[in-house]
Structure 1
Amino acid sequence: MPQQNNSFAKRIAVMDLGTNTFHLLIAEGSPTDFKIIHHQTEAVKIGEGGINKGIIQQAAFTRGIKTMQDFKKQIDGAGASEVRAIATSALRNAANGNDFIAEVEAKAGIQIEIINGEQEAAFIYEGIKASGALTDENALIIDIGGGSVEFIIGNNKEVLWKQSFEIGAARLMDKFHKTDPIPVISIKAMTAYLNQQLADLFIAAMQYKPTVLIGSSGAFESFAEVIELEKGKAFDIKKTKSYEFDTDDLLELIERLIKSTHAKRASTKGIIPVRVDMIVTASLVTIYIMQKLGLVDVSMSTYSLKEGVLAGMLG
């Protein structure tokens, strides 16, 4: 049998085209131990102004095309041999999503795959698994995107249940967070809405009894960063795979964020600009799930969909 030449490691590019951010990850290595060559996050906000209307507005459309052209330059420059671009909720539900896909292919030479919520949840699980955050205990993984929220119940061996819900932070913000700080009446309306939308999750939680909550990247990275920076600790999210929250610290921060103004959040170190407003509805979803399911053991993984896709490609 001829020996494989491993001096040329397979270099792979994965793009996660979310409702708020487009991510590009170029890496090489093995599924659990890969070296990141390039990681770029752009606040495209493809859902801005149109998320609940099911349309990509012109300004967002243009930002998206420009970002994809830039990603193409980075991919070619890094010499990636395999490329995947995965689109989720916003493009999945936009009437002009296919126009965007066609224009990206024409102008950037990148083919976009639209995946459904089930596939999205499966990739997120693989990403969390690759980060080493799962144990043999049943965990509830939550990935709060701009367009959708994925819930997965599983452990380090298998997925027991998974579902995607179109209740992302941008959608909830558009529906409930119209004045700042968010009024109590809006919080009550949002809670009633979540009670109604998440019935399937509560049935699954009763069956599989998760004991820990794992937040996948996004707002959970901001929670961790704010907590650590306020303690005066040096914290580099890029060098962190997973993080365990002190429950009191997390609850205190969430309460503060819910009551905060835009200006206060914008001046808080650790919250990136694209999350300044959406972190309010993300905080409300987080505390809602913690209280509803009695989950006090909370951790965060910086790995998510793109690392799950990458793990599959490297494997």
Structure 2
Amino acid sequence: MRAPRGRQGHQDHPLQTGRQGGHLRRRGDCQPRDQVCLSLELKPPPSAGRHAVIDVGTNSVKLLVATIVGRHITPVHETSVQTRLGKGFYQHHLLQAIAIRQTAEAVQRFAGQARDAGANTIRVLATNAAREARNSDALVRAVREASSLDLEIIPGELEADLVYQGVLSGCSNTNAGMMLIDVGGGSTEIIIGTGPHPKFSGSYPLGTVRLLESCPHGDPPSGDEREEVVARLRQQLETEIAPTMKGVMETFCLTSLQLIGTGGTSTLLARMVNSLEGYDRARIEATVLSIDDVTKWFDRLWSLPMAQRGRIVGLPPEKADVILAGVAIYQEIMKFWRLPSLGISMRGLRFGALLQGQVGQH
């Protein structure tokens, strides 16, 4: 487990309408990533410089091309593709050759799209699977050969910090207390903060692909298999995650913090709640889920075979397996800390990386 850090003081719509428990309510602090292949095109000011970040995750590769003015980021083009870099990885911590090739090809394709969109710089980041892989050098080499770009394998602590800065870039009230959850394929980042720098950040070996591979199940999962996943998550929260957060929990009342989810799972939940066929940033970021909403989706998804899950509006068939682990992680985190609601941010790692660097490769 990446050691978390506790620190003492690490689009944009100033007011949105959120949905909770089927009723609309106003939400003004923070506005706030998925597909195969989802994309979004926006038109920024023609004079603004453009920069790109490619995020090589355990499950998907994602591209953001955006303009940056100060800390204001305007997306120009966003897309992602599922390459399953972490498939079959966690038993021996070796990336499979086919996953390496597919990932390198995705980076090559996205680099071309970024250049076509006018990006002056391109930054390529890799997260959990690449961090833990014994053969990560093979991935770095493949990406370099395919795209002529250097792959940065970033530590979990930096990943968490970039997620925080990315979400903060969409906040109208940067002094509001926030607890951010980024559920990825191989790890989950938890970040707590009230200003420009998070007070606590931790990266934990808890992700959708990792959880599914460690807890195989039938189709549909049995009740016992579902309970096994829940029990494992609760044990991990109690023995591995909560002890690292004792200091910050003595400072903050977690139930008073605004819980914000960023990453594929939270985006998928918002799309399913709103029956969105496509990619609607405004509606996704305006969605607020209660703990009851999340539990209802957990019960529904875990009761259906994968073919039926793949027919739910808003859930791409390719994501119908990993959504089980993702919704379970969110449900158990919310129950463990008695967090009443979940907001959604589509800003995260890639947005934070743009703010941190604003310098990359051409």
TM-score w.r.t. length of structure 1:
0.89
Percent identical across equivalent pairs?
26
1:239 shift after superposition = 4.0
Tell me how far apart the structure 2 counterparts of residues 133 and 198 of structure 1 sit (CA, whole Å).
30
Q: Give the CA deviation at 1:291.
A: 0.9
**1:124-163 counterparts in 2 under 5 A?**
124-132=163-171, 136-163=175-202
State the shift of 1:40 in Å: 1.8
- Cα pair 2:182 2:190 within 8 Å, conserved: yes
Q: Does 1:102 align with 2:102?
A: no
Q: Which residue of 2 aligns with 1:265?
A: 309
Instruction: Find the counterpart in structure 2 of residue 80 from structure 1.
Output: 119
Give the Cα separation in 1 of the matches to 2:193 and 2:322: 27
Separation of aligned partners in 2, 1:235 and 1:133: 26
1:173: Cα distance to partner?
A: 0.4
In structure 2, the CA distance between the partners of 1:182 and 1:223, relative to structure 1 (3 Å rule), is same
On the 8 A contact 2:52/2:123 being kept in 1, the answer is yes
Q: Structure 2 vs 1, CA of residues 105 and 314 (structure 1 numbering), >3 Å: closer, same or farther?
A: closer
Q: What is aligned with 2:280?
A: 237
CA contact (8 A) 1:30 1:311 kept: no
Structure with the bigger percentage of helix: 1
1:205/1:293 contact within 8 Å kept: no
2:352 matched to which residue of 1? Answer: 308
Q: C-alpha deviations, 1:242-292, integer Å up to 9, x for none?
A: 234241333322221232221121111101234211111111111111111
Number of the residue aligned with 1:56: 95
- The secondary structure found in structure 1 opposite 2:152 is strand
Relative to structure 1, the CA distance from residue 253 to residue 188 in structure 2 (aligned partners, 3 Å threshold; closer, same or farther) is closer
TM-score by length of 2: 0.78
Residue 3 of structure 1 is matched in structure 2 by none
Change (3 A) 1:241 1:178: closer
Alignment match, 2:271 = 225
* Correspondence for 2:260: 214
CA distance in structure 2 between the partners assigned to 1:184 and 1:7 by the alignment: 55
Q: Which runs of 5+ in 2 are unaligned?
A: 1-44
Q: Which runs of 5+ in 1 are unaligned?
A: 1-5
Q: Is the deviation greater in 47-56 or in 176-185?
A: 176-185
Could you report, residue by residue, the CA deviation over 1:14-62 in whole angstroms, capped at 9, with x for unpaired residues? Answer: 0111011101111113255333232120111111122342111122112
Aligned position for 2:324: 280
Q: The residue matched to 2:169 in structure 1 has which SS?
A: helix
The Cα of 1:103 is off from its aligned counterpart by 2.1
One-letter identity of the residue aligned with 2:262: S
